[in-house]
Amino acid sequence: MDKMPAWADAVLVPLISILLAAFLSALVILAIGENPVEAFKLMVDGALMRSTGWGYTLYYTTNFIFTGLCVAVAFHAKMFNIGGEGQAMIGGLGVALACLFIPFPHWSVALIVATLAAAAFGAAWAFIPAWLQAKRGSHIVITTIMFNFIAAALLNYVLVNLLRPVGAMEPATANFPAATHLPTFQDMFASEGNPLFRGSPANVTFFLAVAACVAFWVLIWRTKLGYEIRAFGHSESAARYAGISPVRITVIAMLISGGLAGMMALNTTMGEAERLVLNATEGAGFIGIAVALMGRSHPVGVFLAALLFGFLYQGGAELALWTNIPRELITVIQALVILFTGALDNMVRLPLEKLFLATRRRSS
């Protein structure tokens, strides 16, 4: 018999965790002498009440969907991929190389090729830690952390020494050719009389991210490979008895994970900056951890959690603009979400389980 009904496990536990995180965040805002209600109103105002705000919110959401799915697929195989940040950096390199060196006739062709490049580069960066974990038994968490730093050094080297245009000071590539520029929401939805999403960076990659959510669901719950990944995640020994190769699943799951992280770079590099800069990922790889934990590694949950973090990111920028609250407030909220939905899960779950058991006993 289950201790809790499924809906409580999927909805109630994360909800209480998030409320706890929100409550503590409000206390933090109070402690630095600001009004949490006013702050929340400002965030909603800046992120959700105007189409430009939505344009930014959905732009961040796109990043977090990709990195959230990246962490989630590894979670299904019971692996913790902290390397999303590095994989996204290297994915950005793939995007930049494709956009700079292939003469594309149209953005749609460029998007397809750049997507493949981003996924391939990100997956390649995840391959080494995966292979080392599967074959040599080195812990994937430590190797992916190390690979984040190695990726940063590598990207730094490539940008400063190889891809920087002659005479430029900033470590960044040249601007991508105009044919690779992706249509933004403004291009797609604004008209003469109705200027929607003005100047905001949300672009066509958002739909790619939504498609990735659907593909993720199909992969994990409707294919043989997804079944194998989940079986491996639940019990490695049982999976091995069923003839599932641990090496194969570890490597494949991490390749998918790295590929998804790499695809995040499409949004930042091709969609927004239209060139590769040094800090293109801006920590989105780490936010993926919070998103995947909060979304319970389910694509619907990941989408909603990414939307929440997109709102927090845009709202946090507004707060920093209009009040004395720095953007780092969002980092604190992110930490609290990871803490409550991830590490302190049992703190919420155990009392709830007791509560449900008690009510069930009384009713029977």
Partner 1 sequence: MDYATLLQVLDSTVRLATPLLLACLAGLFSERAGIVDIGLEGKMLAAAFFSAAIAAITGSVWLGLLAGIAAALVMSGIHGLASITFRGNQLISGVAINFLASGITVLIAQDWFSQGGRTPSLMGGGRFESITLPFAEALRGVPIIGPLYYELISGHSILVYVAFLMVPLTWWILFRTRFGLRLRAVGEAPEAVDTAGVSVVGLRFAAIAICGLLTGLAGAYLATGLQAGFVREMTAGRGYIALAALIFAKWRPWYALYACLLFGLLQAVALRYQNIDLGGFIIPVQVMDALPYILTVVILAGFVGKAIPPRAGGEPYVKER
Binding site for partner 1 (CB under 8 A): 28, 31-33, 80, 82, 128, 132, 136-139, 141-143, 145-147, 149-150, 153-154, 156-157, 160-161, 286, 289, 293, 324-326, 328-336, 338-339, 342-347, 350
Closer CB to partner 1, residue 170 or residue 187? 170
CB of 141 to partner 1, least distance (A): 5
Closer CB to partner 1, residue 98 or residue 155? 155
d(CA 217, CA 239): 21
- Longest Cα–Cα distance in the chain: 79
Closer CB to partner 1, residue 62 or residue 148? 148
* Identity of the residue numbered 168: A
**What distance, in Å, lies between the first and last C-alpha atoms of the chain?**
14
Closer CB to partner 1, residue 161 or residue 363? 161
Which of these, 143, 122, 126, 154, lies nearest to 261 by C-alpha position? 122
CB of 262 to partner 1, least distance (A): 20
CB of 344 to partner 1, least distance (A): 5
Closer CB to partner 1, residue 102 or residue 344? 344
203 has which bridge partners? 184
d(CA 5, CA 1): 10
Report residue 280 as tokens: 């293109």
CB of 95 to partner 1, least distance (A): 21
CB of 229 to partner 1, least distance (A): 19
Buried b vs exposed e over 48-65: b needs ≥16 C-beta within 10 Å? eeebbbbbbbbbbbbbbb
Question: Residue 262: what are its φ and ψ, rounded to 5°?
Answer: -60, -35
**Cα 121–chain centre separation:** 17
Closer CB to partner 1, residue 239 or residue 325? 325
**Cα 112–chain centre separation:** 20
Residues 6+ apart with CB under 8 A from 281: 85, 88, 89, 92, 264, 265, 268
CB of 158 to partner 1, least distance (A): 9
Closer CB to partner 1, residue 144 or residue 205? 144
CB of 59 to partner 1, least distance (A): 22
d(CA 16, CA 149): 35
Question: Residue 203: what are its φ and ψ, rounded to 5°?
Answer: -145, -170
Closer CB to partner 1, residue 201 or residue 285? 285
Q: How far is CA 305 from CA 16, 106, 134, 247, 354, in A?
A: 14, 33, 31, 31, 27
CB of 333 to partner 1, least distance (A): 8
